[in-house]
A and B are shown apart, each in its own frame.
Chain A
Amino acid sequence: MAAPTLDTVLTGLAQDEATGSLRVGKEGTVFYVRGRVAYVECAATPGVEELLGASGRISANGVRRARQETGAGGDGGALLVDRGVLSRGELEFSVLSATLDAAFFLLTSRTARTRFKEGDAHWLGIHWFFDVQGLLRECARRRARLERAWPSAELDARPVTPLRRIPGTHALLTRLQWELLLAADSTATPVELARRLGRPAYSTLLAVRELAAAGLVVTDETAALPKRTPKPLPPQPREPERSAPGLPQVNGDAADVNLLLRLRDALEAL
């Protein structure tokens, strides 16, 4: 019998109203509370701890201490709120945001090796719930959103390289896009930049794809352009005719005119 897919395992635990943690390979963990998902961690995406650290609200050490103080089954999130590190609304949104970000990367994992640990809970406690189907639906919606922004995954795993010169004269950037362009060093991938900036990995992927759509980062097409440019033609024997003074110079090529005539004939024949 083939190993069950990750979707099947996730749905099964939801039906069993399980409480505990599901390790998915080495990539991450899904935390269940009575069949609903309370938190997801993924090695590739920043968790609430990293997001908090990067925002400057609390040091990595502060997070470690809070974690130690929170005993088994404790509510580390409530502890952080009590200390004024963040508000309840911010905590809920951080958990929600980090969970969806992790789920987006973890739930596409091909690994079938999963291990469920009954009763295990995340140290932050329970601050938001997702039902498994809703989580999977949201992941699919986010994938579609990426495709709409720029319909190719070529940039997702490749170093972000801003163009030295932009095609137009103006560019309109969001805050994240600005930070990304400043941090991009032509070696870091979007997910690595997300970690460095303390931003959700999905937002970063989306921002990079939007930058590609705006023609501001190197994509396959722009990288290939120099190669595709034909070799310069040997100098033409005839000088281009000078146009009348005051009018722009025209360098008409007989081939272009022939093509236009053929095009016109074809259109008329329709």
Chain B
Amino acid sequence: MIGIEDCLSEAMSIPGALGAILVDHTSGMAVAGKGIPDPGRAAAGLSEAYRATLDGIAMASQETGFRIEDVIVTTGTAYHLVRPMEMMFDGPLLLCVCLDVERSNLALARRRLRTITDELVAS
């Protein structure tokens, strides 16, 4: 079982990780971050990106009541992974990691992210 700070340290230990941040999706607040120059700005942006993805997929998908496992955005130099965690009464809480595209393995990073979020919310 891990806490919020350990969760970020674990995320930063994923090979190729450049930065990691926890975002409260409802309020768009940066809960905590590592290797992120402006956490407030990053949290607002990531929260909006996740909201747009949710709304877009909700409109495009035939599934009702679907849930997003993770969102992956690939840019020229980085992977941006966003993994939502349903919390007890609010949320989701988003664990977002930015990875160097040259030095990271996407499949491995996704698995690691999943393990970390499971440990954070599992009792």
Contacts and interface: CB of A to CB of B under 8 A. Distances in A.
Interface in A25-52: 51-52
Given A85-B123, A87-B121, A90-B88, A172 B2 contact: no
A113 B18 CA distance: 48
Nearest to A200: B90
A194 to B, nearest CB: 10
B122 A87 contact: yes
B90 A199 contact: yes
Nearest to A94: B88
Interface in B90-123: 90, 93, 119-123
A24 B78 CA distance: 48
A90 B121 contact: yes
A1 to B, nearest CB: 37
Contact of B121 (A89, A97, A199): A89
Interface residues of B, number: 25
A200 B1 CA distance: 25
B27 A55 contact: no
A97 B123 contact: no
A90 B87 contact: yes
Contacts of B119: 89
B15 interface: no
A198 interface: yes
23 contacts: A51-B88, A55-B88, A57-B88, A81-B1, A81-B123, A84-B123, A87-B120, A87-B121, A88-B1, A89-B1, A89-B2, A89-B120, A90-B88, A90-B120, A93-B87, A93-B93, A97-B87, A100-B29, A138-B29, A142-B29, A199-B89, A200-B26, A203-B27
* Top-6 shortest CB links A-B: A89-B120, A55-B88, A87-B123, A88-B3, A51-B89, A203-B26
